[in-house]
Amino acid sequence: MLECTNEVFICERSERKIKNYFFIFPSERTNTPLGLLYIVIFVFGLCIGSFLNCVIYRLQKTKSFLKGRPACNAMPTSGAKSASIATQSVTGGRSFTGWRSIIAGRSICPKCKHILKWYDLLPVVSFIILRGKCRYCRKKVSWQYPLVELATAVLFLISYFLFISYFLFLVYIWIIICFLLIIFIYDLKTYFILDKVIYPAIGIVLLWNIFNNWSGLLMLLLTAFLSAAFFFIIWLISKGKAMGFGDVKLGFLMGLFLGFPNILVALFFAFLSGALVGLGLISLGKKKLKSQVPFGPFLITGTFVALFWGEKIVSWYLSIGVV
């Protein structure tokens, strides 16, 4: 009887050890210096950001092959459509189909069609060295590319600081950040939120919570449906003029990803930032009151704020006695 108990105890210890190995961040297993790890994560984020630029560009060029929904809104935003030097797949004249064609293939300059070398694609560094121009045709490169790379690196680093203890959860957060950044830039440039992007993101969040947060899944689904219903009502009443249907799907993703009450924080910051930017652009004469621009970027900005600081904001709000 004693031996059996010891075996069970040893087995349980082994299971906990294996589980902790996969959930604890590698620096805690290998004693990696934190300074070096910060640099590695930042550089990794830059590389992922470069890849996201590639995906965004190819999605934009192949949108006729993808299902999408317009997300035009009445909330103004800044940022003009700029010429791109993002990577494009060389396919010998064949059309793009699906995600494989989006992420595969060599990279070329869309202006001069020259195949880019590896040293032309170094995140941020190549942009600085080449002074924002193509090495071969000397045409200007959009500021989108270094900004997306830097944003990805910063978001990855902030995520690491906040979710350092659970490696798999951190990887999950990084994946969703990538989807949100794609939606952010694509919506900003095209006024579309693609089903090709939003549905996989919803699926990943749903699967993660099924396997890791089953007890809280019902509440997350309720939050997601209520969030989507809020945007659906706006879309329905305005007949699509004040809110695009893509934002309804994005609202569902936000509710499922953030849960309650963080979704309220995200929505508050989204509408507040949208209103402030809109008033600023109108006062500068850049936009008119009835201008249609994407609201998705504001929603995603609010999502990041709620993800990183939502709980602290809610706690602060409750602490000051505001009901």
Distance (Å) of CA 161 to CA 19, 47, 153: 21, 19, 13
Tell me which residue has tokens 């004469």: 285
pLDDT in tens, the chain (323 residues): 444 444 433 344 444 443 444 445 555 555 667 778 889 999 999 999 999 998 998 888 765 333 434 444 333 333 333 333 333 333 333 344 455 555 556 677 767 767 777 777 788 888 888 887 887 788 887 888 899 999 999 999 999 999 887 889 999 999 999 999 999 999 998 888 999 999 999 999 999 999 998 989 999 999 999 999 999 999 999 888 888 899 999 999 999 999 999 999 999 999 999 889 888 888 887 777 667 778 999 999 999 999 999 999 999 888 886 55
The SS3 assignment for 275 reads helix
pLDDT in tens, 83-127: 333 333 333 333 444 555 555 566 777 677 677 777 777 888 888
Residue whose C-alpha is closest to residue 155's, from 53, 48, 297: 48
Burial of 24 (C-beta count, 10 Å sphere; 0-12/13-18/19+): middle
pLDDT in tens, 10-21: 344 444 443 444
Residue whose C-alpha is closest to residue 121's, from 185, 175, 42, 46: 46
Q: Is the separation of the CB atoms in 103 and 219 below 8 Å?
A: no
Using CA atoms, how far apart are residues 247 and 48, in angstroms rounded to an integer? Answer: 25
Report yes or no on whether pTM surpasses 0.85: no
Token code pair at residue 249: 């799907």
